[in-house]
């Protein structure tokens, strides 16, 4: 069965700065996100994962390649009509709930700001109703609408951030490290909320994080990104149980497990990029196992194919 | 084998005065830190874990004070006991702070001075806390940089904090703490702001340095998942009290307190895809009001009647392991530990 592609990124490049000071943050990234799935983008700080998210949101301009949403190009110059559609249908949830809410505005305004911009003629009564509903949807009380962000805990603020996305009736949400700044117990609540919303409304997620243990729990497919390049991509369970690229294996070995004996025997793997000799034999994107892609050259591909043979 | 106690806390109470109201932040904690061990203190934000350790260094905010109990430090060279809670003068704190007890803060971005080279900042600590000439101090500084895993120390010595990555900055902060030549190192969420890979490396580094410099370490964190690797013993804090304490094995394989169970169950590492991750209902208690009974009872679906009336004492599970829960009383009904403990014991993760 052919699944419907919601978002496709083709050879995406993002460059900061000009001429001598040029820095290429994203180097020719390709991936597809299917409707209704949760796609994970995992990498360390500086890998370009957030930049990709922001390029899709069109907060950052791309310098090359294409971003297709429902088959239409959305980067570069686009028609006003498509622009409005994209603004409404693609929403973002940010990492830091302290920094992403306007401290001087009431929750009521924060949640409905986007709505007022898209549906200009909306009546005051309907706006209030929609805000109340959005707050209820994320497990907050409608009374909270008249309060300021500083009156809330980190977990509640993150819920306000989610309510602000939901009110737009989005089809696609980019969640950029939505739980990294939260306590463990609150983390679980926010993750459950995101999963529940997805089930109820068939929303597609692009989930950006540095922690594979969270990724394993929430995503369907994962792409591992390093220095602006995707090095490995597969379905979540496949990637975790049969990681191929040495970088992915290093990331996996770094996950802390709540098991003292296992942890004591664990050998921490540190990824050393100099193990790849790409001087003559150039790396390219290839399928090593079924639906499991890795960036490798010919010689490495042979080694990788034998990795899980025995 | 009798272990040597370096820090002993008994019945410690800390209160804050806030707009005429009293906030009871620490409610009678008793705890020992043994020489050479890594003790992890785990709790949610607001559980008082930072306030607790700040009181050992005289770093409580002005409106906070120790209102009962004491903390005694046994680490001085001449083995005399110092009652930390009795110190009033800033001058007396200066003798202890850094030199005996040093602290690493959460955010390596804000704990370094952006206007000074990192070499100067480490050397400042060396000159202040160790005898010797400037040339010797510089030699030592380079040694510390090597010890915390910073390559090309001669070059790095002259660089500024902005030229370092987050993980490297945290290494520099650790080097400064070590340069004070302390007995006790308090690490307050040392890895929360860092990537998973860097986190693993920093924890590894803390373990190495503990051996090399014979440190006793207190590791504060909100994430029970990260301490299994590092800690010898784990203390679980809730609402200003230690509700369970034991060795790593005790806590991860044989936890007894419902709150510890809840923390373990909510780890994403043990979550099953497609099912809800366990989450703790409700919010921590308001510490402005008197807490009646077991502080965790209102959030505990299996709470007993007595939990709401009388606060439980410590019940000892083994010589190394004790917990404050009525479930361990012989009259209590049998409660089954959550499935997560079995999953962990059988090593069925990942």
Which among A153, A188, A264 is the nearest to B279, CB-wise? A188
Decide: B304 and B326 in contact? Cβ < 8 Å.
yes
Decide: B108 and B193 in contact? Cβ < 8 Å.
yes
Question: If pLDDT is split at 50, 70 and 90, which confidence band does A1 have?
Answer: low
Residue B32, phi then psi, degrees to nearest 5: -115, 145
- The whole-angstrom separation of Cα A161 and Cα B217 is 38
- The whole-angstrom separation of Cα A301 and Cα B278 is 40
Has residue B36 got a pLDDT over 80? yes
Decide: B84 and B72 in contact? Cβ < 8 Å.
yes
Return the residue in A258, A268, A270 with the most chain B beta carbons within 10 A, the one to mutate for interface testing.
A258
Question: If pLDDT is split at 50, 70 and 90, which confidence band does B349 have?
Answer: low
pLDDT of amino acid A34: 95
- Digit-coded pLDDT (tens) for A53-106: 999 999 999 999 999 999 999 988 889 999 999 999 999 999 888 888 999 999
- The whole-angstrom separation of Cα A305 and Cα A234 is 15
Residue A215, phi then psi, degrees to nearest 5: -60, -45
Question: If pLDDT is split at 50, 70 and 90, which confidence band does B1 have?
Answer: low
Count CB-CB contacts under 10 A for residue A57: 18
- Digit-coded pLDDT (tens) for B123-146: 999 998 888 899 999 999 999 999
Kindly determine whether residue B229 and residue A264, on different chains, have CB atoms separated by under 8 Å: yes
Count CB-CB contacts under 10 A for residue B101: 26
Check if A250 contacts B (Cβ < 8 Å). Answer: yes
pLDDT of amino acid B194: 84
- The whole-angstrom separation of Cα A102 and Cα B270 is 35
Return the residue in A192, A251, A259, A263 with the most chain B beta carbons within 10 A, the one to mutate for interface testing.
A259
Q: Where are the alpha helices (DSSP H) in chain B?
A: 49-54, 90-96, 118-129, 134-147, 153-156, 166-179, 196-213, 224-227, 248-254, 258-265, 339-345
**pLDDT, chain A, mean:** 90
Has residue B197 got a pLDDT over 70? yes
Has residue B341 got a pLDDT over 70? yes
Check if B226 contacts A (Cβ < 8 Å). Answer: yes
In angstroms, the separation between the Cα of residue B62 and the nearest Cα of chain A is 23
Q: Which residues of B touch A252 (CB under 8 A)?
A: 350
Check if A101 contacts B (Cβ < 8 Å). Answer: no
What b-and-e string marks burial along A209-222, b requiring 16 or more CB atoms within 10 Å of the CB? bbbbbbbbbbbbbb
CB pairs under 8 A between A and B: 129
- Determine the residue of chain B that is closest to A155 in CA distance: B283
The angle subtended at Cα A44 by Cα A40 and Cα A45, nearest 5°, is 115
Work out whether the CA dihedral A224, A230, A231, A232 comes out positive or negative. positive
Q: Burial level of A50, CB count in 10 A (0-12/13-18/19+)?
A: buried
Q: At what angle do helices A80-89 and A107-118 cross, to 10 degrees?
A: 150
The dihedral region occupied by B252, where left means phi > 0, alpha psi between -120 and 50, and beta the remainder, is alpha
Which among A187, A192, A268 is the nearest to B200, CB-wise? A268
Return the residue in A95, A239, A260, A263 with the most chain B beta carbons within 10 A, the one to mutate for interface testing.
A260
Count CB-CB contacts under 10 A for residue B282: 9
HSE (side-chain half, CA atoms, 13 Å) at A73: 12
- Digit-coded pLDDT (tens) for A169-208: 999 999 999 888 788 778 888 999 999 999 999 999 999 9
Enter the tokens of residue B204: 């590894």
Check residues A209 and B273 and name the one with the higher pLDDT: A209
Interface of A with B in 261-280 (CB under 8 A): 261-264, 266, 268, 270-271
pLDDT of amino acid A170: 94
Which among B44, B197, B199 is the nearest to A250, CB-wise? B197
Read off the pLDDT of each residue in B305-333 and give the average, rounded to a whole number.
92
SS (H, E, C) chain A: CCCCEEEEEEEEEEEECCHHHCEEEEEEEEEEEECCCEEEEECCCCCCHHHHHHHHHCCCCCCEEEEEECCEECCCCCCHHHHHHHHHHEEEECCCCCCCCCCCCCHHHHHHHHHHHHCCCCCHHHHHHHHHHHHHHCCCCHHHHHCCHHHCCHHHHHHHHHHHHHCCCCCEEEEECCCCCCCHHHHHHHHHHHHHHHHHHCCEEEEEECCHHHHHHHCCEEEEEECCEEEEEEEHHHHHHCCCCHHHHHHHHHCCCCCHHHHHHCCCCCCCHHHCCCCCCCCEEEEEECCEEEEECHHHHHHHHHCCCC
Kindly determine whether residue A188 and residue B223, on different chains, have CB atoms separated by under 8 Å: no
Read off the pLDDT of each residue in A280-296 and give the average, rounded to a whole number.
90
Residue of B140, B114, B115, B116 whose CA lies nearest to B127: B140
Strand B5-18 relative to strand B21-34, pairing: antiparallel
Percent of all residues in chain A with a pLDDT value above 70, rounded to a whole number: 99
Q: Which residues of A touch B279 (CB under 8 A)?
A: 185-186, 188-189, 192
pLDDT of amino acid B281: 81
- The whole-angstrom separation of Cα B222 and Cα A155 is 14
Has residue A246 got a pLDDT over 90? yes
- Digit-coded pLDDT (tens) for B37-81: 999 999 988 889 989 999 999 889 889 999 999 999 998 888 889
Strand B38-42 relative to strand B233-238, pairing: parallel
Check if A19 contacts B (Cβ < 8 Å). Answer: no
Which among A188, A236, A257 is the nearest to B228, CB-wise? A257
The residue assigned the tokens 């040093």 is B102
């Amino acid at each position: 069965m052919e699944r419907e592609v919601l978002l496709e990124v083709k050879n995406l490049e993002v460059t900061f700065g000009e001429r001598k000071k040029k820095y290429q943050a994203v180097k020719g990234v390709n991936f597809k996100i299917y409707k209704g799935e949760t796609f994970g983008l995992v990498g360390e700080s500086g890998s370009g994962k957030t930049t990709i998210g922001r390029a899709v949101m069109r907060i950052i301009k791309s310098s090359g390649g294409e971003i297709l949403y429902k088959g239409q190009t959305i980067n570069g110059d686009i028609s006003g009509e498509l622009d409005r559609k994209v603004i409404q249908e693609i929403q973002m949830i940010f990492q830091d709930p302290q920094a992403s809410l306007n401290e001087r505005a009431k929750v009521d305004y924060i949640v409905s700001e986007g709505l007022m911009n898209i549906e200009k003629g909306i009546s005051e009564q309907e706006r209030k109703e929609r805000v109340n509903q959005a707050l209820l949807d994320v497990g907050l009380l409608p009374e909270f609408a008249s309060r300021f962000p500083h009156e809330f805990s980190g977990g509640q603020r993150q819920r306000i951030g989610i309510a602000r996305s939901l009110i737009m009736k989005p089809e696609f949400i980019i969640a950029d490290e939505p739980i990294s700044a939260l306590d463990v117990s609150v983390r679980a609540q926010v993750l459950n909320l995101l999963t529940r919303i997805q089930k109820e409304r068939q929303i597609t997620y692009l989930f950006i994080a540095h922690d594979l243990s969270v990724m394993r729990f929430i995503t369907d497919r994962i792409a591992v990104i390093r220095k602006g390049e995707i090095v490995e991509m597969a379905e979540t369970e496949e990637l975790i149980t049969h990681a191929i690229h040495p970088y992915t294996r290093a990331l996996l070995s770094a996950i802390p497990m709540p098991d003292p004996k296992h942890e004591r025997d664990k050998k921490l793997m540190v990824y050393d990029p100099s193990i790849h000799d790409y001087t003559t034999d150039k790396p390219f994107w290839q399928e090593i196992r079924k639906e499991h892609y890795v960036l490798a050259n010919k010689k490495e591909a042979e080694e990788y194919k034998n990795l899980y043979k025995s | 084998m009798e272990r040597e106690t370096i820090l002993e806390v008994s019945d410690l109470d800390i209160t804050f005065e806030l707009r005429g109201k009293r906030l009871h932040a620490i409610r009678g904690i008793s705890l020992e830190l043994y020489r050479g061990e890594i003790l992890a203190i785990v709790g949610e934000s607001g559980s008082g874990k930072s306030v607790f350790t700040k009181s050992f260094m005289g770093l409580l905010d002005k409106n906070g004070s120790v209102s009962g109990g004491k903390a005694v430090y046994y680490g001085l060279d001449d083995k005399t006991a110092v009652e930390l809670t009795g110190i009033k003068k800033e001058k007396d704190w200066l003798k202890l702070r850094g030199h005996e007890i040093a602290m690493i803060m959460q955010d390596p971005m804000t704990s370094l001075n952006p206007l000074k080279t990192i070499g100067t900042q480490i050397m400042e600590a060396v000159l202040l806390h160790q005898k010797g000439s400037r040339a010797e101090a510089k030699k030592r500084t380079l040694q510390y940089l090597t010890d915390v895993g910073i390559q090309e120390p001669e070059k790095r010595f002259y660089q500024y904090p902005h030229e370092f990555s987050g993980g490297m900055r945290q290494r520099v902060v650790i080097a400064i703490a070590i340069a004070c030549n302390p007995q006790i190192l308090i690490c307050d969420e040392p890895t929360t702001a860092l990537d998973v890979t860097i986190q693993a490396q920093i924890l590894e580094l803390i373990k190495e340095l503990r051996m090399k410099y014979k440190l006793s370490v207190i590791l504060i964190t909100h994430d029970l998942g990260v301490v299994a690797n590092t800690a010898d013993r784990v203390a679980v804090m809730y609402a200003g009290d230690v509700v369970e304490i034991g060795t790593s094995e005790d806590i991860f394989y044989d936890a007894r307190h419902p709150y510890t169970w809840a923390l373990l169950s909510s780890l994403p590492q043990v979550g099953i895809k497609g099912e809800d991750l366990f989450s703790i209902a409700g919010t921590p208690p308001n510490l402005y009001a008197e807490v009646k009974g077991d502080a965790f009872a209102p959030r505990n679906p299996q709470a007993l009647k007595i939990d709401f009336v009388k606060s439980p004492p410590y019940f000892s599970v083994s010589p190394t392991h004790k917990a404050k829960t009525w479930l361990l009383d012989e009259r209590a009904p049998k409660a089954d530990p959550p499935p997560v403990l079995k999953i962990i014991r059988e090593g069925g993760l990942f």
